[in-house]
Amino acid sequence: MKKKTMRAIFAVLFILGVVVGYVLPGDFRDLARNQLQPNVLDVPKKFGQLDLETDYFKYSVLAETETGSIELIRLDEKIPKHMHTKENHFVFVYKGRAKGTVGSVNAEVGPGQLVAIPAGVPHSFERVGDSPVEIILFSTPPFMPNDIVWLEKE
């Protein structure tokens, strides 16, 4: 093939790609924007800026994609027994101490420990001592407050 023909084909394909990119439904463009971006987060600073709240804890979403999310959570007292029907959680204890139950496992956890909570497994946590418990929550799929099924109310 001649160079002019190849250039013409590449130019047409490039223009077609640009046009298709603008014509695609918004969901596909949103998917590309919702990709995890490289980032360095100042965790202590972010714990000082928690901006969301439930009945039992304050939290902030640090990162979120279609497949998972990372939240910072501060537990001042207790989170009663509940479960998440769709979400698997990995709870990393950053500060403080808590005692908890996950399924049939009872444990007291502190800084540096990680708790795995499969979807559909009842669990609860209660602060131990006077200091709030600060945790980093890794959820897959992303954390959704409406996925919480409360099995106890306080």
Domain ranges of the chain: 3-33, 43-150
Least confident of 4-13, 65-74, 122-131: 4-13
List pLDDT tens digits, range 113-153.
999 999 999 999 999 999 999 999 999 999 888 889 999 87
Number of separate helices (H) and strands (E) present in the chain: 3, 11
Q: How far from 50 is each of 46, 47, 77, CA to CA, in Å?
A: 7, 6, 16
List pLDDT tens digits, range 74-128.
999 999 999 999 999 999 999 999 999 999 999 999 999 999 999 999 999 999 9
Helix locations, 48-128, DSSP H: none
CATH, range 43-150: 2.60.120.10
